[in-house]
Structure 1
Amino acid sequence: MKASTIAEREALGRAAREHSKRSSHRTVGELKRNPIELLKQSNEGRVENLVPLRYGRMAVSPFTFFRGTAILQANDLSQISDTGLTMPICGDGHLMNFGGFATPERQLVFDLNDFDEVAVGPFEWDLKRLTASLVVAARHMGLSRGAAENLVMTAVTEYRDRIAQYAQCGALELWYDRITFDRMAETALTPERRRTVRRGMEKAANRTHESSLEKMAEHNGDHWTIRDAPPVLFHVLGANALFTTEETEAYKGANWRKMLERMWGDYLKTMSHDRRELLSHFTVQDIVFKVAGVGSVGTRCMVVLSVDHMDKPLFLQIKEARPSVIAQHYKSPAIKHEGERVVQGQRMLQAASDIFLGWASGPMGRDFYFRQLRDMKLSANIELFDADLLEGYARLCGWIMARAHAKASGKAIEVSSYIGRGDQFAEALAGYAASYADQVESDYEVFMKACRSGVLQARTEEDMAADFRV
């Protein structure tokens, strides 16, 4: 029977400690798995000729390797006990998957911004992904073990304090809560850091569809064509086909228009009437293939350029949605459409979502979702961070994750009651994150050895770009 009173819900949270002690979160478990086999498993169904580029991007450092291996941590988390306090979770909430973007009202907010792995899972899995990423990043930056531990304590205590505040909120308060620049700056940053972020915001404000048009496309008399910039952006042509013959035929020449027409009809059905009306003002000009991120390399991703009657552009990204690694390793509800899973998960976890989010089925029965390509987006560059800025950022990530979990689940009371007011949970996660960062470094060495010996083929951007010039 569902608990209804606040006292009953608090009791449920405390009861979860009986089978999942807060101190137990320190353990990473006995990891008897082959990272190379799991990596190969995660490549199934990807564009085979792009997998070497995925490995090339992962090979840069243990941190980029970590970003590309959500499947490893999901597998490892499934081997240890969990709280049973489940909810929609991001599934890949490492520190690079947070950032700034514009709301429909053109206000810059900070939030989670990658939902490819979103699924129902234990709340602490998101925190373990985040905290491990903080330690791996701290080591990449050459920070001390103590500084890395401090980052984890900062993020988790912020999560604890915020989730306790959200436990006192009404449903509408939670739904309307947004982490704007001003709110974030007041609590997470020192005055000089605010200036740094404000400069970043000013740059983000210029990352609009219009500013992208001149950089990314050229006008050929009566229509716009996106410029090729291989291996990141390119038209699918026979000479440099990355795909099977059947798939190449779907994407190349005039065939892409037929493919897009079929997908567009499905996509529009997932939109509200006003959004459909807005999209009717745009005419499609061109479509190119895009190779994005680290973990996403090898998935099918396209960029569509449309313009309205004033020649003002709209760039939409159509991205393949593959089964979530969380759903593969935790018993989640059955999924009908992977694109719908991503979109609905994003709408639940974010405070304000892209107005063009939607989904459709594409060539060869693959699932896709649609979103804007660039709209005042602001992302972290940890290479430019120091310990002080990273600490402020860790605090912000803890806050964002608490807000996302509270809104998406309605279980802030239970989670807050489980964590309690002390540092026991945070200290356990600090221990976990340090041990898991050791595991990441160990897996990275195994991965690099496989690359060097030829078991895995890793290629750089330059190697791949050369293929297009042949």
Structure 2
Amino acid sequence: MKTSTIAEREARGRAAREHSKRSSHRAVGELHRDPIELLKQSSAGRVGNLVPLRYGRMAVSPFTFFRGSAILQAHDLSKVHDSGLSMPICGDGHLMNFGGFATPERQLVFDLNDFDEVSTGPFEWDLKRLTASFVVAARHMRLSRGTAERLVMTVVNSYRDRMAQYAQCGALELWYDRITFDHMAETALTPEGRRAVRRGMEKAATRTHENLLEKMTSFDSGHWKIHDAPPALFHVLGANTLFTADETETYRKGNVDKMVEQLWADYRKTLSHDRRELLDHFTRQDIVFKVVGVGSVGTRCFVVLLVDHRNKPLFLQLKEARPSVIAQFHKSPAIRHEGERVVFGQRMLQAASDIFLGWATGPLGRHFYFRQLRDMKLSANIELFDSDLLEGYARLCGWIMARAHAKASGQAIEVSAYIGRGDQFAEALSGYASSYADQVERDYDAFMKACRGGKLEARTDEDMAADFCV
């Protein structure tokens, strides 16, 4: 097989501009769709009693609505020309889907941390979701239009500059590159930025399995049990279940223990030999349903508590993997298993991944993936950021996305050549992000009208918690 030269690859990237000019990325396109119908489509097949909670969390602000409505932007992106430079993309890389966590070597890194929508798609789809999220968030925080534009320019030019650097790297250099908290502190442009990184490191050190065991569980009769805290946590067959009678009956008849045993056996097969051996040091104690995020509310997600011979805990999360919204609107390779798609995408895009990542097929043929629930995981509270910290965070997000794309695709040379050295691409995405934020606000207004008019039911966590007495 003939290997392309670097010059040929650069030429391929520049040639992609003929298919899709960099200035063309300003366009949002003519959007003739009903946002309510698309949201209903994405809610189909979820736990019915939790769909109102999904809408309740989305109703908090245009920003939470944006976070919960990835299907809308995926649909809209499919209506405009793309660069043709396709690769594994996150699919939902908004600014809250980045975070800190510990690597297997116990190094604290910052990276993409949500891969439910991972798929093959044009590289700029990730950037368009990220830049739009910064504008929607800036408006939510009542920052100026100029600040929002500056944040977008910072994201895209950080991506551009880092991608140019990665275009000079060898394959192993890309594979080993990690954005550690120590490196972040060293490269922070302000003293407050360095202090924020150090505070994050201190906070992450407290977010351990042991800490979670103290908060969520109790020990009784030689057995650990997770406390119900509906609607966020509940036992599927317990008094506080939010499953319908039909679904709980399915679990009851199927014998939950047997179902879990089969699921566990499938999952173990997806782990490497050494990690199976490690997992076998733990025994299962309890399993509960967990409501997660905004867009994921209503998908089936379980938390399993295990302990080793010293009663040291391990919390694993089993999350339902549904078809990616990117794959719905962009032709992607055939998928054998949605859980496998998420795991492989995460391993390709992240610098270092959870040692317990795996997948399995659950009851009624649903696909799941496994990961640790909490292992020094940390997310940014952007509402506490001033404009300088937010700009530093924007620079970091652009850097992380460039590293992820470069590693997963091996196309840093092509993408860098396509973007070029100037601001033309960034200026186009700045125009796009502002226009798309306008669209988000229109969709949010339509969504709130549907909620007020009874077309959609929306309930808050507090409303639903009041239904229970735990």
TM above 0.5, yes or no, is: yes
- The equivalent residue for 1:8 is 8
- The equivalent residue for 1:32 is 32
- The equivalent residue for 1:47 is 47
**Aligned counterparts of 1:46 and 1:73: Cα–Cα separation in 2:** 20
Report matched runs for 1:289-438 at 5 Å.
Answer: 289-438=289-438
- The equivalent residue for 1:288 is 288
**Does the alignment pair 1:102 with 2:122?**
no
- The equivalent residue for 1:138 is 138
Task: State the Cα deviation string for residues 29-61 of structure 1 (Å, max 9, x = none).
Answer: 011111001000101111111100000000000
Q: Is the 8 A contact 1:58 1:64 kept in 2?
A: yes
Moved more, 216-225 or 243-252: 243-252
Post-superposition offset of 1:236: 1.8
Task: State the Cα deviation string for residues 64-123 of structure 1 (Å, max 9, x = none).
Answer: 000000000000000000001000000000000001000000000000000000000000
Change (3 A) 1:36 1:410: same
Moved more, 245-254 or 392-401: 245-254
**Aligned counterparts of 1:186 and 1:139: Cα–Cα separation in 2:** 30
Post-superposition offset of 1:197: 2.3
Task: State the Cα deviation string for residues 247-286 of structure 1 (Å, max 9, x = none).
Answer: 3135469932211100000000000000000000000000
- The equivalent residue for 2:172 is 172
- The equivalent residue for 2:274 is 274
- The equivalent residue for 2:456 is 456
TM-score by length of 1: 0.98
Post-superposition offset of 1:239: 4.6
**Aligned counterparts of 1:272 and 1:346: Cα–Cα separation in 2:** 16
Post-superposition offset of 1:238: 5.8
Post-superposition offset of 1:451: 0.6
Task: State the Cα deviation string for residues 192-238 of structure 1 (Å, max 9, x = none).
Answer: 22112211211111111111101010000201000111111111236
**Aligned counterparts of 1:276 and 1:245: Cα–Cα separation in 2:** 36
Post-superposition offset of 1:187: 2.5
**Aligned counterparts of 2:195 and 2:2: Cα–Cα separation in 1:** 48
**Aligned counterparts of 2:161 and 2:91: Cα–Cα separation in 1:** 22
Q: Is the 8 A contact 1:77 1:125 kept in 2?
A: yes
Post-superposition offset of 1:465: 1.3
Post-superposition offset of 1:2: 7.1
**Aligned counterparts of 1:122 and 1:223: Cα–Cα separation in 2:** 49
Q: Is the 8 A contact 2:235 2:241 kept in 1?
A: no
**Aligned counterparts of 2:389 and 2:253: Cα–Cα separation in 1:** 48
**Aligned counterparts of 2:69 and 2:171: Cα–Cα separation in 1:** 35
**Aligned counterparts of 2:111 and 2:239: Cα–Cα separation in 1:** 41
Task: State the Cα deviation string for residues 163-182 of structure 1 (Å, max 9, x = none).
Answer: 00000000000000000112
Q: Is the 8 A contact 1:188 1:396 kept in 2?
A: no
Q: Is the 8 A contact 2:117 2:323 kept in 1?
A: yes
Q: Is the 8 A contact 1:236 1:252 kept in 2?
A: no
**Aligned counterparts of 2:267 and 2:249: Cα–Cα separation in 1:** 22
**Aligned counterparts of 1:89 and 1:300: Cα–Cα separation in 2:** 24
Post-superposition offset of 1:468: 2.7
Q: Is the 8 A contact 1:46 1:299 kept in 2?
A: yes
**Aligned counterparts of 1:241 and 1:317: Cα–Cα separation in 2:** 18
Q: Is the 8 A contact 1:25 1:432 kept in 2?
A: yes
Q: Is the 8 A contact 2:117 2:325 kept in 1?
A: yes
Change (3 A) 1:180 1:238: closer
Secondary structure of the 1:95 match is coil
Structural RMSD (CA): 1.4
Letter in 1 for 2:75: N
Task: State the Cα deviation string for residues 380-403 of structure 1 (Å, max 9, x = none).
Answer: 112211111110000000000000
Secondary structure of the 2:466 match is helix
Change (3 A) 1:175 1:409: same
**Does the alignment pair 1:213 with 2:203?**
no
Q: Is the 8 A contact 2:48 2:244 kept in 1?
A: no
**Aligned counterparts of 1:377 and 1:239: Cα–Cα separation in 2:** 31
- The equivalent residue for 1:153 is 153
Secondary structure of the 2:318 match is strand
Post-superposition offset of 1:244: 3.9
**Aligned counterparts of 2:216 and 2:252: Cα–Cα separation in 1:** 20
Post-superposition offset of 1:242: 2.9
Task: State the Cα deviation string for residues 423-449 of structure 1 (Å, max 9, x = none).
Answer: 000000000000000000110000001
**Structure 1 gaps, min length 5:** none
**Aligned counterparts of 2:34 and 2:239: Cα–Cα separation in 1:** 37
- The equivalent residue for 1:441 is 441
Percent identity at matched positions? 82
Q: Is the 8 A contact 2:98 2:110 kept in 1?
A: yes
Change (3 A) 1:428 1:15: same
Change (3 A) 1:389 1:295: same
Secondary structure of the 1:463 match is helix
- The equivalent residue for 2:229 is 229
- The equivalent residue for 1:68 is 68
Q: Is the 8 A contact 1:249 1:255 kept in 2?
A: no
Q: Is the 8 A contact 2:184 2:197 kept in 1?
A: no
Secondary structure of the 2:96 match is helix
Q: Is the 8 A contact 1:157 1:426 kept in 2?
A: yes
Moved more, 248-257 or 200-209: 248-257
Secondary structure of the 1:418 match is helix
Secondary structure of the 1:192 match is helix
- The equivalent residue for 1:113 is 113
Secondary structure of the 1:109 match is strand
Letter in 2 for 1:469: C
**Aligned counterparts of 1:2 and 1:18: Cα–Cα separation in 2:** 25
